[in-house]
């Protein structure tokens, strides 16, 4: 006789740690689909982080490259102090409302001037990668350009137990970046936006209609000072300075390349790896403001780049079983 | 120490293997974020599949449980569920594994038309690009999971499926094909007047509103692709197993995934497997509703306590395996 067993445990009826599914709640509390069991839910909010370790390589990038990666309109690249310093960062998130995950990103200093003359200053993210599906999707709602990839972040060893580092990222079988080295705690000049509460974060969200007839671009802005409801003064990145380590460029081994699936290694022309700044922090991510929108219409005759049933380089890579 | 290299070449472009870099295109050719390197790009259009292997368990569940997980205006039509795994070998999104649940359902669009379709309350995939290409424009309720599905042994007589997410097994089943007929099949099987439906929710970055839409994918082949059903089955590839042939079946609800708790199977009727080609056309929006939120409504979406992490925030660090 076959064995067929169903264990219909409804965890949300056992503990308040698990919210009931949206379908059992007021429709105003439905944030994403599906209402039977969304990828992430209201227990993600407010979105906080505790004791994450941020490890940011500081790289020098010329103005032409930065302009190319910051879409204009509506963005302008920052042309003031340390404008050419770009943050190239990994994070080990240990405790978050989206669970633990590893993350990677690139941040370029940029500005946006609205029609009334208000100037917004922020770090703009052209590239981001994460190891978890829920933080990718929750971030994409706010406009973050997140993809999934395999990421490793290691800070270990030596007298302090945090003297050596190793970082790596790959996707679809290609290595995108790897860096190793030893912290020497020498002075490293950070990107201009570091620690400044008048510098927020920019993202460009793209919402495409189900019939692909148009896509709306939205420039979103996350301020660095929190709304009063959060009852937190100062920058929403709350750094714990006793854990900060640095490495000079001479202490870093570095390799980066583009892949057929991910163009960062071709687009981000790194003139110099000036150093690494690594710190532990707590964080709150608030809702984002939409500063600018533009919609791009496609004709009914629109066709993409593919040829039906013909699969090329970008469609061929080892099959994954998921994680 | 201090050895550094950046390989900026992008040889696939000159050989015509990859589309132009996103920053070199008109913005109508960007269909998702990030705009410098989208998670899915216009080389997935038109979205076709070749020789995918579909393995669909046919199960019954309590129809009141099924209705309880389906939002207005979607109406469940019967208690027969398609509970399916797919090996996608050749697709415009690359190879990936997939699992989903399909109910027979209808929607009265309010303009005198009744749409009949398979409705998806749950879906899981192994790779990021097909997750977000399905989720963002169309509303497929996709999450990432570990998925194993295969046939093996003499004449591929044996089958096995397993799905896990965040350390919990959601489902497993295995057995042997007998090629005997099943006592019932899903209502929508093979019918071109039954399409596919999804429930899409698009939330503003500032959470001030959410747009709810029912999207509909017709089953007739799109213009220029001939006539008939867009699922093109190879009839010689069909294998079947009855409920008694399914040696083992285990399904469970988890703290992160409610499917097993919401729709436990009351009967495992059997398994139908087949090989097919597929085209996924743009989707119609057949119903929509905008839910606005004021400041007074924010309380009900802030379910968590800042910096306090619970059962749903604690699980093994995910390592995206498509590295």
Taking only the tens of pLDDT, chain A with its 323 residues reads: 799 999 999 999 999 999 999 999 999 999 999 999 999 999 999 999 999 999 999 999 999 999 999 999 999 999 999 999 999 999 999 999 999 999 999 999 999 999 999 999 999 999 999 999 999 999 999 999 999 999 999 999 999 999 999 999 999 999 999 999 999 999 999 999 999 999 999 999 999 999 999 999 999 999 999 877 777 788 899 999 999 999 999 999 999 999 999 999 999 999 999 999 999 999 999 999 999 999 999 999 998 999 999 999 999 999 988 76
pLDDT score of B322: 77
Candidate from A3, A230, A305 with C-beta closest to B248: A3
Beta carbons of A316 and B94 less than 8 Å apart:
yes
Structure-block tokens of residue A264? 């960062």
Q: How many CB atoms lie within 10 A of CB A301?
A: 5
Structure-block tokens of residue A248? 């000079």
Q: Which residue has the tokens 């397993």?
A: B162
Q: pLDDT category, B226, cuts 50, 70, 90?
A: confident
Judged against a pLDDT cut of 90, whether residue B1 lies above it is answered with no
Judged against a pLDDT cut of 90, whether residue B320 lies above it is answered with no
Rounded Cα distance, B217 and B198, in Å: 9
Nearest Cα neighbor of B36 from A55, A39, A180, A110 is A110
What's the whole-number mean pLDDT along residues B236-248?
Answer: 98
Backbone angles phi and psi of A67, in degrees to 5? -65, -40
Q: Quote the minimal CA–CA distance from B201 to chain A in Å.
A: 5
Looking at chain B, the whole-number percentage of residues with pLDDT higher than 90 is 93
B19: closest chain A residue by CA: A305
Q: What is the pLDDT of residues B270-309, one digit of tens each?
A: 999 999 999 999 999 999 999 999 989 988 899 999 999 9
What is the average pLDDT value for chain B, to the nearest integer? 96
Q: Quote the minimal CA–CA distance from B183 to chain A in Å.
A: 18
Candidate from A26, A37, A41 with C-beta closest to B259: A37
Beta carbons of B122 and A210 less than 8 Å apart:
no
Residue A279 makes CB contacts below 8 A (sequence gap 6+) with A53, A54, A239, A240, A241, A243, A244, A245
What's the whole-number mean pLDDT along residues B96-123?
Answer: 97
Q: Are B85 and B98 in contact (CB under 8 A)?
A: yes
Mapped onto helix, strand or coil, the DSSP state of residue B286 is strand
pLDDT score of A250: 97
Q: Is the dihedral of CA B70, B293, A232, A246 positive or negative?
A: positive
The ipTM estimated for the assembled molecules is: 0.96
CA-to-CA separations, A33 to A134, A271, B69, B272, in angstroms, rounded: 12, 43, 12, 28
Beta carbons of A126 and B36 less than 8 Å apart:
yes
Q: pLDDT category, B83, cuts 50, 70, 90?
A: very high
Residues of B within 8 A of A269 (CB-CB) are 6, 8
Beta carbons of B258 and A10 less than 8 Å apart:
yes
pLDDT score of B223: 82
Beta carbons of B141 and A34 less than 8 Å apart:
yes
What's the whole-number mean pLDDT along residues B44-69?
Answer: 97
What's the whole-number mean pLDDT along residues B216-233?
Answer: 89
Mutation for A interface: B13, B38, B45, B306, most A CBs within 10 A = B306
pLDDT score of B321: 75
Give residue B126's Cα distance to chain centre.
10
Q: Quote the minimal CA–CA distance from A138 to chain B in Å.
A: 10
Q: pLDDT category, B41, cuts 50, 70, 90?
A: very high
Q: Quote the minimal CA–CA distance from B263 to chain A in Å.
A: 8
Q: pTM score > 0.90 for this model? A: yes
A49: closest chain B residue by CA: B307
Candidate from B129, B251, B307 with C-beta closest to A6: B251
Rounded Cα distance, B289 and A28, in Å: 12
Q: Is A304 at the interface with chain B, CB within 8 A?
A: yes
Taking one residue from A and the other from B, the number of pairs with CB-CB distance under 8 angstroms is 469
Nearest Cα neighbor of A275 from A210, A206, A199, A182 is A182
pLDDT score of A245: 98
Q: pLDDT category, B82, cuts 50, 70, 90?
A: very high
Rounded Cα distance, B195 and B197, in Å: 7
Beta carbons of B318 and A220 less than 8 Å apart:
no
Q: Which residue has the tokens 């972040």?
A: A153
Q: pLDDT category, B256, cuts 50, 70, 90?
A: very high
pLDDT score of B246: 98
A319: closest chain B residue by CA: B95
Q: What is the pLDDT of residues B165-200, one digit of tens each?
A: 999 999 999 999 999 999 999 999 999 999 999 999
Give the lowest-confidence range in B155-159, B268-272, B297-301, B308-312: B297-301
Q: Which residue has the tokens 């100062």?
A: A234
Q: Is A172 at the interface with chain B, CB within 8 A?
A: yes
Beta carbons of B311 and A19 less than 8 Å apart:
no
What's the whole-number mean pLDDT along residues B134-163?
Answer: 97
pLDDT score of A258: 98
pLDDT score of A234: 85
Residue-level length of chain B = 323
Q: Is A64 at the interface with chain B, CB within 8 A?
A: no
Residues of A within 8 A of B68 (CB-CB) are 23
A209: closest chain B residue by CA: B137
């Amino acid at each position: 006789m076959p064995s067929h067993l169903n264990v219909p445990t409804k965890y949300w009826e056992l503990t308040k740690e698990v919210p009931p599914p949206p379908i059992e709640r007021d429709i105003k509390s439905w944030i994403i689909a599906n209402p039977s069991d969304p990828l992430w839910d209201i227990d993600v909010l407010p979105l906080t982080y505790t004791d994450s370790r941020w490890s940011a390589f500081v790289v020098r990038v010329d103005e032409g490259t930065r302009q190319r990666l910051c879409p204009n309109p509506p963005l302008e690249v920052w042309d003031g102090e340390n404008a050419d310093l770009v943050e190239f960062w990994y994070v080990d998130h240990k405790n978050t409302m989206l669970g633990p995950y590893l993350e990677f990103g690139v941040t370029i200093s940029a500005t946006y001037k609205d029609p009334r003359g208000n100037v917004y200053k922020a770090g703009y993210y052209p590239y981001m990668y994460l190891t978890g599906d829920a933080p990718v999707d929750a971030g994409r709602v706010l406009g973050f350009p997140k993809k999934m990839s395999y990421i490793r972040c290691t800070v270990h060893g030596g007298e302090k137990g945090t003297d050596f580092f190793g970082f790596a990222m790959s996707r679809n079988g290609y290595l995108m970046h790897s860096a190793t080295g030893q912290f020497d705690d020498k002075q490293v000049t950070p990107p201009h936006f570091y620690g400044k509460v008048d510098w927020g974060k920019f993202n460009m969200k793209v919402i495409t209609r189900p019939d692909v007839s148009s896509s709306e671009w939205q420039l979103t802005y996350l301020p660095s000072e929190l709304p009063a409801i959060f009852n937190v003064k100062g920058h929403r990145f709350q750094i714990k300075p006793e854990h900060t380590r640095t490495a000079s460029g001479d202490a870093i081994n570095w390799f980066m390349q583009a892949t057929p699936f991910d163009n960062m290694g071709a687009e981000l022309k790194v003139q110099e790896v000036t150093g690494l700044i690594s710190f532990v922090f707590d964080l709150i991510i608030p809702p984002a403001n939409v500063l600018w929108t533009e919609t791009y219409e496609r004709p009914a005759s629109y066709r993409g780049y593919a040829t039906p049933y013909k699969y090329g380089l970008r469609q061929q890579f080892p099959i994954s079983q998921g994680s | 120490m201090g050895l550094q290299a950046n390989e900026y070449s992008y040889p696939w472009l000159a050989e015509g293997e990859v589309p132009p870099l996103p920053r070199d295109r008109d913005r109508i050719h960007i269909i998702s974020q990030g705009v410098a390197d989208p998670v899915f790009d216009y080389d997935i259009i038109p979205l076709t599949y070749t020789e995918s292997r579909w393995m669909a368990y046919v199960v019954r569940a309590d129809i009141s449980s099924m209705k309880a997980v389906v939002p207005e205006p979607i109406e469940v039509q019967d208690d027969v569920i398609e509970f399916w795994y797919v090996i996608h070998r050749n697709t415009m999104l690359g190879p990936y594994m997939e699992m989903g649940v399909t109910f027979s359902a209808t929607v009265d669009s309010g303009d005198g038309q009744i749409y009949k379709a398979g409705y998806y309350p749950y879906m899981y995939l192994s790779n990021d690009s097909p997750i977000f290409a399905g989720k963002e424009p169309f509303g497929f309720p996709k999450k990432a999971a570990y998925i194993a599905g295969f046939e093996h042994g003499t004449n591929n007589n044996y089958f096995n499926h397993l799905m896990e997410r965040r350390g919990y097994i959601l489902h497993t089943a295995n057995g042997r094909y007998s090629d005997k007929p099943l006592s019932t099949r899903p209502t929508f099987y093979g019918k071109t007047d039954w399409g596919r439906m999804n429930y899409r929710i698009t939330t503003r970055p500032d959470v001030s509103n959410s747009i709810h839409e029912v999207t509909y994918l017709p089953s007739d082949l799109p213009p220029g692709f001939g006539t008939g059903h867009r699922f093109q089955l190879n009839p010689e590839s069909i294998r079947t197993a009855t409920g008694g042939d399914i040696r083992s079946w285990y399904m469970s609800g988890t703290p992160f995934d409610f499917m097993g708790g919401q729709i436990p199977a009351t009967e495992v009727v059997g398994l139908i497997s087949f090989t097919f080609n597929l085209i996924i056309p743009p989707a119609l929006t057949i119903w929509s509703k905008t839910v606005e939120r004021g400041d007074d409504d924010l309380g009900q979406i802030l379910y968590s306590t800042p910096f306090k992490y619970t059962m749903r925030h604690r699980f093994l660090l995910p390592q995206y395996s498509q590295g």
